[in-house]
Structures are given as structure tokens and as C-alpha cells.
Amino acid sequence: MNKYLDIAPEVKAALEQGKPVVALESTIISHGMPYPKNVETALLVEDTIRKNGAVPATIAVIGGRLKAGLSHEEIEYLGKAGRDVAKASRRDLPALVARGADGATTVTTTMIIAHMAGIQVFATGGIGGVHRGAETTMDISADLEELAQTPVMVVCAGAKSILDLGLTLEYLETHGVPVIGYGTEELPAFYTRKSGFGVDYRVDSPEELAAMFRAQRDLGYKGGMLVTNPIPEEYAMDKAVIDAAIEQALKESVEQGVHGKETTPFLLARVVELTGGDSLESNIKLVLNNAAVAAQTACRLCK
Ligand code: PSU
Ligand code: MN
């Protein structure tokens, strides 16, 4: 085991006994939602994973330790600290570990730590991708690179149209990452069920997701798999409302010269502000929906 890794006792026991475990990220807690909704949601997501037969392992960096599985106190700590906790991507782990610092893990670092711990399935809300205007800014999320090189299944609700969804799919295709639609042929766009872009494969059951992931392992691929699960119809947002908020947020980010790791948190926070509490509620519901699918799939993978 990696000397910087701490696996929580419950998670460790489950892994040793071959029981299903689902990883969860912590950027969504510290940077994705306001306190105390973030903590409530993180605990609700963990409950959903348990109700679906798996053990949750929320991942973060605390005091320079890579944590697979957090206590309620640790989740509360990350939620309260919010943006004071550094957003930790792949390039940040060496500094955080060496300095004994805290970090909220993105999709990238959650995948890295999940894989170190031996966890194969990870549920989140949305992933990072190729940003609009990437032709000139070269802003491409490290999440895509990680999907190309780390064997973890990421269950998300697609990607927000703060990104260029077409270019994001092209990038994933180039890097050999299968993009699966869960019960859909169309890539979901996080707040809405449709994006206008097709996925590579439609899959309708956790059994089939598990079979594809197993085949990917048996083929000796190093990379992971992206499962896109549309937000339940009743919680989906009006496309015109969300698109207007995203355009406004993008415009402000360009005007204010926001760049680098700040871009995504800035856009996400502005979209929430511009749409009131509605988008936050949708966000919570879709994460719970993804947690259920991830847990069911982790159960099938253990059979
Ligand atoms: N997109 C979302 N919600 C999120 C994120 C992205 O819709 O919470 C977070 C995730 O932690 C993701 C990270 O891994 O932002 C990507 O950041 P960047 O674009 O800087 O790579
Ligand atoms: Mn970026």
C-alpha cells in the first residue's frame, strides 16, 4: 500500500472481503455547494450508496494524508472550510503531501486515490472537460487525461455546457475512453437530459456496465470508463433558463480574466447564483441518482 494512503476501517474491511465500495469526490463538498447543504448532501450520498448495497469511500487529502473514506467529522470539516481547502488536481498532490496540507479532490485525484486503494467505481455529479474557447486557451481538464490512464469507472450526469461538449467527446475518443449512456443514446448535459451529442454505447443495466468494465480490465487497458446517467426527468431544468445562466457566467469569466484552476469553480458558482436555488436542488438529485447506479454496478462487479 502507498505510504501516504489511509483507508478508513470500514472501507478496508469491505475491500479485503471483496465487498462493493464506491468512491466519492470532495471538491463537490468544498467548492461545489454552499455550507451546510454540501455536508448534508455528502452524507445523503453516502446513505444512498449504503442503501444500494455498497460501502461509500469519500476521498480527500487531510493533513497531507490521502484519505479513502472519511468520518462524518472530516466531511463536516471540509464542508465548513469550503474554498479555504485547496482544489487538488494531479499536479497538486506532491505539494499537499510534502507540506502536510489539505486538499479537496477533483475527479482526477479521486480516481488516483481510489485506484491506489483498490476501488473501481466512483460516483460524482459532473466531470471537467474541454472548455469553450480551448482552441486558444488550451484549457482542457486533467479529468480527461485521468480517464485515459486510470482504470476507474466514473458515473456522472454528463458535463455542463460551460464546456464544449463536442470537443470533450472528441478528446475522449482520441484517448480511447468509452463513453456510455445509461438508459440513453444521447450525452446528458448535467442539468438537462439531452445535449444533442451521441454517446458511444447505450447500456440499460448495472449488470451490463459491470460486464463492460470487466472486459476493459481483461483486455489489459490502462484507462477508465465514463458512464453518463441523465438527471431524472422530474428534476431536469429548463434548457433556456440554464443556457442563459451559463452564457452570462462565461461572459463574466472572460471579462474578469478568470483562468486556470479558478475557471470551473467560478463558472459553477455563478451558474448557481444566477439560477437561484433551483440548480442546486437539481445538482443534489442527480448526484444521488448517480450514487445509486454506481453502487448497483459495484455490487455486480463483486459477483
Ligand atoms: N464540473 C461540475 N461539477 C464539479 C466539477 C466540475 O459540473 O463539481 C469539479 C469536479 O471536481 C471536477 C473539477 O473534477 O471541477 C474539474 O475542474 P477543472 O475544470 O479545473 O479541471
Ligand atoms: Mn482547466
Q: pLDDT of 247-278, one tens digit each?
A: 999 999 999 999 999 999 999 999 999 998 88
- Residues with CB under 5 Å of ion ligand 2 are 139
Kindly give the distance from the C-alpha atom of residue 16 to the centroid of ligand 1, in angstroms, as a whole number.
31
Catalytic residues: 25, 160
CA distance 240 to 127: 22
Kindly give the distance from the C-alpha atom of residue 128 to the centroid of ligand 2, in angstroms, as a whole number.
8
281's grid cell:
436542488
Q: What is the torsional sign of CA 240, 289, 5, 73?
A: positive
Q: Is the pTM higher than 0.75?
A: yes
Our answer on whether the CB atom of 69 is closer than 6 Å to any ligand 1 atom is no
Q: Which residue type sits at 132? A: R
CA distance 99 to 302: 37
Counting ligands in written order, which one lies closest to the CA of residue 106? 1
11's grid cell:
472501507
The pLDDT tens digits of the residues spanning 138-177 come to: 999 999 999 999 999 999 999 999 999 999 999 999 999 9
For a substitution probing ligand 1, which of 27, 87, 89 has the most ligand atoms within 8 Å of its CB? 27
Band of pLDDT at residue 95, cut at 50, 70 and 90: very high
Atom of ligand 1 at shortest range from CA of 27: 11
Our answer on whether the CB atom of 145 is closer than 6 Å to any ligand 1 atom is no
Our answer on whether the CB atom of 28 is closer than 6 Å to any ligand 1 atom is yes
The pLDDT tens digits of the residues spanning 30-87 come to: 999 999 999 999 999 999 999 999 999 999 999 999 999 999 999 999 999 999 999 9
Atom of ligand 1 at shortest range from CA of 89: 21
